[in-house]
Homo-oligomer: A and B are copies of this chain.
Amino acid sequence: MNGWNGKILEIDLTAHTTKSYPLDMEIAHQFIGGRGLGARLLWDLVGPEVDPLSPQNVLIFTNGPLTGTGYQTSNRFSVTTKSPLTGTVLDANSGGFWGMQFKKTGYDAMIVRGRSEKPVWIEIKNGAITFHDASELWGMRVFALTEKLGQDNNRRNVLCIGPAGENLSRIAAIMNDRERALARGGPGAVMGSKNLKAIVVEGKERPEIEDKERFKFLLYETRKLLAASPLTSQALPEFGTVVLMNIMNNIGALATRNHQQTQFEGAEAISGEELTEKYLVKNASCWACPIGCTRVSKTEKVEGEGPEFESTWAFGAQCGVDDLPAIIEVNALCNDLGLDTISAGSTIACAMELSEKGYMDSDLRFGRADLLARSVEEIAYRRDLGAELADGSLRLATKYGHPELSMTAKGMEMPAYDPRGLQGQGLLYATSNRGGCHMRGNMIGLEVLGLPKLIDRFQVQGKSSFVILNQNSNAAIDSLVVCKFTNMGVADEYFARVLSAVTGFHYATGDMIKAGERVWNLERLYNNREGFTSNDDTLPPRLLNEAPADGPSKGWVSHLEPMLKEYYRSRGWDEHGVPRPQKLQELGLSNLVQAVA
């Protein structure tokens, strides 16, 4: 059986010991890898009694059966943990080169548990696992650290945290390949809580392919498909993800000034077109990726990867800032400090509104581009105002008596797309099991771009089916792991064929999507076990009650309630959002719940 290495590595940081044991192949077939495998392992390892920042929490790094095979965009890997930001199951995934190197170490998953007494970094190189003292590295920023530890490998095998993670900011990211991030939900804080500064990997175990000839043919076909799709062959390479700025603004669904408006008068100034014209140096790409959506941009002060659309929006429209160089610079600073740009930007925006309304005493105001870098520095070091912002907007706004001003779902800051102009996106945020997130079944393709089909963005009735479809499909893709952008040119059906060719285990498209549904339901079971209920499947009151006064979404609020009811029914869950026994049986998850009961 190829595709999987068949081994799990467990690292105990408390004892500085490691062990390796076989991957349960039944679990592998059922949950595939990546996010799915991570969720399944977390289910057994971390129960509701565990505080996310305690030694009992774990970090589970996983790759998938496609990772490192050379299939287009097969560079991604995941981390799974209990989120210190939301308390939910959390996984985040990232591209670059690290995941491919990780796969070549010969493990499918690496479970990191316990807490090292002193700062440590781990080296996994050609079969040997070494704990290194990191006392002198503690405090280093990401770029310098990557430079130092990654010299042998062109900086492409270092995964680490920056000061934000060390200081347990609940919006801290884990960084890899210098500027790539396992960003959302605070995994950097979990790594910091374990006194683990970095993991450097290098391996020589090249993944084997079961049906080489078929795989080669599928590689060829996928190359053709990606070259044929206007999105993957033109829009993304040419403009990057920021191409969405003008599009979202034009339809009145660009959250602005902490979601007080849905259009930003400065959108053009921070658009992908503007970025390309004035600041783009070149584009870059992850390992084995022919798309190359990564921007390399440059201002007078910085040069580096980014910014992505979400980062540009978070520090831009959401903070009322139209100063693109300032945004590029604060984005680079977040990378260097190891911070999630969406949560950092939106938390600053929340502080701006709290301050403008007089609930909080600070100089933060919408439009103050000059304060962005300072705020981000303060967050990473929990200094001054940063001490209050470091744990995200919900804790901040709650402290000041106005939790309703935190633009979060389940405590995680939402991205740019305002759900009042995109009804399905609102349902997505509310039901996303890691909180306000667009990577769990983004509805932009269906509700805005017409990919693969356009549906009415204001439609409520029937919307849940599309959200579920995207959620299941994305859960499968996150378990392979490949990049979701590939899916813009290549149908799911194709991934199932590649998965079958690589593993020799036959997956019809339906089997693969069913695995995605299984993952989604398991994640739901996890959150339910943590005490989450249907009451948590909600949105900030602003989005439910305050309609935009003008623009194309004028008069619309998010009609969450009917969508949510329909969603539960369509999911085969009861009216409290609990998967029904029949659904669990269908997905082969009954035994997990019975073990609990």
Complex CA–CA separation, A221 to B227 (angstroms): 10
Contact with B along A44-86 (1 / 0, CB 8 A): 0000000000000000000000000000000000000000000
Stretch touching chain B among A17-25, A313-321, A491-499: A491-499
Question: What is the copy number of this chain in the assembly?
Answer: 2
Complex CA–CA separation, A224 to B228 (angstroms): 5
B493 and A450 contact, CB distance less than 8 A? yes
Residues facing B in A416-465 (CB within 8 A) are 449-456, 459, 461-465
Stretch touching chain B among A6-14, A132-140, A196-204, A466-474: A466-474
Contact with B along A489-507 (1 / 0, CB 8 A): 1011110100000000000
A566 interface residue (CB < 8 Å to B) = yes
Residues facing B in A200-259 (CB within 8 A) are 221, 224-225, 227-230
- Report chain B residues within 8 Å CB of A221: 228, 230
Q: Which residue of B lies closest to A464 (CB)?
A: B462
Residues facing B in A488-536 (CB within 8 A) are 489, 491-494, 496, 509-510, 513
Residues facing B in A322-380 (CB within 8 A) are none
Distance of A472 from chain B, by nearest CB (Å): 9
A154 interface residue (CB < 8 Å to B) = no
Complex CA–CA separation, A462 to B563 (angstroms): 11
Query: In the complex, which of the residues A229, A454, A566, A569 has the most CB atoms of chain B within 10 Å of its own CB atom?
Result: A454
A590 interface residue (CB < 8 Å to B) = no
B465 and A455 contact, CB distance less than 8 A? yes
Distance of A505 from chain B, by nearest CB (Å): 18
A153 interface residue (CB < 8 Å to B) = no
A469 and B453 contact, CB distance less than 8 A? yes
A582 interface residue (CB < 8 Å to B) = no
A493 and B228 contact, CB distance less than 8 A? no
- Known A-B contacts A453-B452, A454-B509, A454-B513; the reply to A463 vs B465 at CB < 8 A is yes
Complex CA–CA separation, A569 to B302 (angstroms): 54
Distance of A285 from chain B, by nearest CB (Å): 20
Complex CA–CA separation, A452 to B488 (angstroms): 10
Complex CA–CA separation, A459 to B456 (angstroms): 22
Distance of A161 from chain B, by nearest CB (Å): 37
Looking at the complex, which one of B225, B462, B470, B494 makes contact with A566 (CB distance below 8 Å)? B462
User: Chain A binding site: helix, strand, loop or mixed by DSSP?
Assistant: helix
A570 interface residue (CB < 8 Å to B) = yes
Complex CA–CA separation, A287 to B496 (angstroms): 34
A510 and B450 contact, CB distance less than 8 A? yes
- Report chain B residues within 8 Å CB of A489: 228
Distance of A566 from chain B, by nearest CB (Å): 7
Complex CA–CA separation, A455 to B516 (angstroms): 12
Complex CA–CA separation, A491 to B491 (angstroms): 12
Complex CA–CA separation, A367 to B452 (angstroms): 42
Q: Which residue of B lies closest to A223 (CB)?
A: B228
- Report chain B residues within 8 Å CB of A462: 462, 464-465, 468, 566, 569-570
Distance of A83 from chain B, by nearest CB (Å): 28
Q: Which residue of B lies closest to A567 (CB)?
A: B462
Contact with B along A286-323 (1 / 0, CB 8 A): 00000000000000000000000000000000000000
Complex CA–CA separation, A215 to B450 (angstroms): 20
Query: In the complex, which of the residues A449, A459, A462, A570 has the most CB atoms of chain B within 10 Å of its own CB atom?
Result: A462
Complex CA–CA separation, A464 to B566 (angstroms): 12
Complex CA–CA separation, A227 to B510 (angstroms): 25
- Report chain B residues within 8 Å CB of A496: 450
- Report chain B residues within 8 Å CB of A468: 462
Distance of A401 from chain B, by nearest CB (Å): 40
- Report chain B residues within 8 Å CB of A454: 492-493, 509-510, 513
Complex CA–CA separation, A85 to B463 (angstroms): 36
A450 and B513 contact, CB distance less than 8 A? yes
- Report chain B residues within 8 Å CB of A513: 450, 453-454
Query: In the complex, which of the residues A225, A468, A470 has the most CB atoms of chain B within 10 Å of its own CB atom?
Result: A225
Looking at the complex, which one of B450, B465, B494 makes contact with A492 (CB distance below 8 Å)? B450
Distance of A455 from chain B, by nearest CB (Å): 6
Complex CA–CA separation, A463 to B461 (angstroms): 11
- Report chain B residues within 8 Å CB of A455: 465, 469
A491 and B453 contact, CB distance less than 8 A? yes
Using a CB–CB distance below 8 Å, which chain A residues touch chain B? Answer: 221, 224-225, 227-230, 449-456, 459, 461-466, 468-470, 473, 489, 491-494, 496, 509-510, 513, 566, 569-570
Return the 5 tightest CB-CB contacts between A and B, nearest first: A462-B465, A450-B509, A228-B228, A452-B452, A450-B493
Provide 18 A-B residue pairs closer than 8 Å at the C-beta atoms, listed in order of the A residue.
A228-B229, A449-B493, A450-B493, A450-B510, A451-B493, A452-B452, A452-B453, A453-B473, A453-B491, A454-B492, A454-B510, A455-B465, A455-B469, A456-B510, A461-B566, A462-B464, A462-B465, A465-B466
